[in-house]
Amino acid sequence: MITSDRMAAVDVNAEALGVPRKQLMESSGNAVASAVSERAEPGSTVAIVAGRGNNGGDAFVAARFLDEYDVSVHLLGRAETIGTEIARENWDALEAGDYETVEVKDSRALDLPDADVIVDAMLGTGVAGALREPAATAARAIDDADATVIAVDVPSGVDADTGEAPGAAVEADHVVTFHDQKPGLTDLDIDVTVADIGIPEAAELFVERGDLLALERDPRSHKGDHGEVLVIGGGPYSGAPALSAQAAFRAGADLVRVAVPETIAPDVRGFSENFIVEPLTGDALAPGHVDELLELAADQDAVLIGPGLGDDEGTLDAVGEFLASYDGRVVVDADALQVVPEVETDAELVCTPHQGELRKMGGPAADDWEERADAVSAFAGEIGATLLVKGAHDVISDGETTRVNRTGNPGMTVGGTGDVLAGVTSALVTAIEDPVQAAGVGAYANGRAGDLAVDDHGYGLVATDLPPLVADALWNDAE
């Protein structure tokens, strides 16, 4: 089962891993042609009704595999409005190959032949809202026709994730969907074929640039929409909470508050004028601070607890009490991690241990990353948290979904890069709904930033190089 957002990411990841989209479209088109030939004898009349996106593109490819049929392709619009290069190339190939193609100027002009099979290739996962004209009238014309209707990927007008049709929709007899079943198709009592179109398993497992699509922002958003983060840290160390806070900004947080013991508050303030520093009495986090922290955390979108806390007993008690009473999203890092296995909490935990900290949490040790992926998935399920286990290959899992990140380099063993990753992740869990995807993008961006830093500084990179490069990795790194 795969949602259309994840499908879009996997599609781009496949391309990043060397499988061209054009090849995916060829495979999709081939699968559609197979579905036609399983339901109609050669010589039958096949009418293809195509939209101007890649859903239509799939059917242009299918037409080329249906030479033994009497095929006509009806494009809803003019060829020059075809929206993607690969669909346009496939349309041009039809015209060059003397296939029967019709550009339907408007819905009144759709003149379907008396067909044995109609292929519905108007819209797939790109549909947004109720069907607009001419697709709406075309959908009714398809339903009124006395033909077997085969839908490409999703019946046009149906939302692939919910199965709902806010407006007109094609009632298909059969759907050929690609790569994996779509949630919205399972409730429709229609016969569905899931066609393998050559997307490698790696495109779902490895975090690649397709996963950055999850960060696309609604243009109508406004201040505060993109994450208010509270960082709880410091005590013996002031650099760690400051680095995490800076990293949270660079990963898109709108507001960052930093709650640190008053003894280091001036240092943290000195690090950047962007933070709102909330001084805590004394020189270390203590149980007496918990109520104040819960108040501060109440209207935040995420909390990060751990950077630079130190591990004296009172501090760890305070972490346990905070987690036991908080029910929002919390990224837990560094010394706070050891508290997690013993604490009962309603909070949604995202833990970011390195392998040594994972063992201290009672987690598995496994050198080989594939073994580690399975072991981390099992442990994440056991403790009911999302784990991001750092390593040459970072492993991210919540026990259900497991991702692996391969960006980064040995230069990143320098102190502080973990504080940056924790800060980045605390901002991303406010922007990306699924914590596994958020942590995966966090690991990817942190590693990419490290790779960009090595380009500038070799292995002389330091953690403070990373935060600005994280922003580059997230927003300026399109290949």
Ligand X SMILES: NC(=O)C1=CN([C@@H]2O[C@H](COP(=O)(O)OP(=O)(O)OC[C@H]3O[C@@H](n4cnc5c(N)ncnc54)[C@H](O)[C@@H]3O)[C@@H](O)[C@H]2O)[C@H](O)CC1
The Cα 381–Cα 403 span in angstroms is: 14
- From the list ligand X, K ion, none, pick the one residue 151 interacts with, judged by a Cβ distance below 5 to 8 Å according to partner type: K ion
Strand 174-178 relative to strand 148-152, pairing: parallel
How many chain residues interact with ligand X (CB under 6 A)? 31
Who's near 12: CB < 8 A, 6+ residues apart? 208, 209, 210, 213
- The reply to whether 178 sits near ligand X by the rule CB under 6 A is yes
- The reply to whether 407 sits near ligand X by the rule CB under 6 A is no
Query: In the bound complex, what is the minimum distance in angstroms from residue 185's beta carbon to K ion?
Result: 11
The Cα 220–Cα 222 span in angstroms is: 7
Give me the 40-79 binding string for K ion, x by CB under 5 A, dash otherwise: ---------------x------------------------
Which three-class secondary structure state does DSSP give residue 118?
strand
- From the list K ion, ligand X, none, pick the one residue 256 interacts with, judged by a Cβ distance below 5 to 8 Å according to partner type: none
Give me the 14-43 binding string for ligand X, x by CB under 6 A, dash otherwise: ----------xx--x---------------
Give me the 121-160 binding string for K ion, x by CB under 5 A, dash otherwise: ---x--------------------------xx---x----
- The reply to whether 306 sits near ligand X by the rule CB under 6 A is no
440 is in an annotated binding site: no
Nearer to ligand X, 85 or 371 (CB): 85
The Cα 310–Cα 6 span in angstroms is: 39
Nearer to ligand X, 26 or 301 (CB): 26
The Cα 312–Cα 315 span in angstroms is: 5
Options 33, 47, 112, 123; binder of ligand X; rule CB under 6 A: 123
Nearer to ligand X, 102 or 265 (CB): 102
Options 57, 227, 418, 423; binder of ligand X; rule CB under 6 A: 57
Q: Token match 């391309």: residue? A: 15
398 is in an annotated binding site: no
Nearer to ligand X, 22 or 360 (CB): 22
- The reply to whether 135 sits near ligand X by the rule CB under 6 A is yes
How many chain residues interact with K ion (CB under 5 A)? 6
- From the list K ion, ligand X, none, pick the one residue 57 interacts with, judged by a Cβ distance below 5 to 8 Å according to partner type: ligand X
Which three-class secondary structure state does DSSP give residue 419?
helix
Please check whether residue 89 is in contact with residue 63, taking contact to mean a CB–CB distance below 8 angstroms: no
- Going by the DSSP 8-state scheme, the letter that residue 206 receives in this structure is B
120 is in an annotated binding site: yes
- The reply to whether 131 sits near ligand X by the rule CB under 6 A is yes
Structure tokens at 111: 């003149």
- The reply to whether 28 sits near K ion by the rule CB under 5 A is no
Options 13, 51, 165, 436; binder of ligand X; rule CB under 6 A: 51
The Cα 21–Cα 10 span in angstroms is: 11
Residue numbers 363-382 binding ligand X by CB under 6 A: none
- From the list K ion, ligand X, none, pick the one residue 212 interacts with, judged by a Cβ distance below 5 to 8 Å according to partner type: none
234 is in an annotated binding site: no
- The reply to whether 408 sits near ligand X by the rule CB under 6 A is no
Who's near 308: CB < 8 A, 6+ residues apart? 233, 234, 235, 236, 237, 238, 239, 240, 241, 260, 334, 419
Q: Is the dihedral of CA 293, 298, 423, 401 positive or negative?
A: positive
* Cβ-based burial of 455 (10 A; exposed 0-12, middle 13-18, buried ≥19): exposed
Left if phi > 0, otherwise alpha if psi is -120 to 50, otherwise beta: which for 98? left
375 is in an annotated binding site: no
Distances (CA, A) of 168 to 122, 134, 371, 433, 469: 12, 11, 49, 30, 46
Please check whether residue 379 is in contact with residue 420, taking contact to mean a CB–CB distance below 8 angstroms: no
Options 66, 150, 152, 337; binder of ligand X; rule CB under 6 A: 152
- Going by the DSSP 8-state scheme, the letter that residue 214 receives in this structure is G
Window of 113-121, 137-145, 266-274, 325-333 that interacts with K ion by CB under 5 A: 113-121
90 is in an annotated binding site: no
240 is in an annotated binding site: yes
Cα first-last separation, the chain = 29
Q: Which residue ranges are tagged as binding site for K(+)?
A: 55, 120, 156
Q: Which residue ranges are tagged as binding site?
A: 54-58, 120, 124-130, 153, 156, 240, 308, 354, 418-419
Residues in contact with ligand X by the rule CB under 6 A: 7, 11, 24-25, 28, 51-58, 83-84, 123-132, 135, 152-153, 178-179, 197
Residues in contact with K ion by the rule CB under 5 A: 55, 120, 124, 151-152, 156
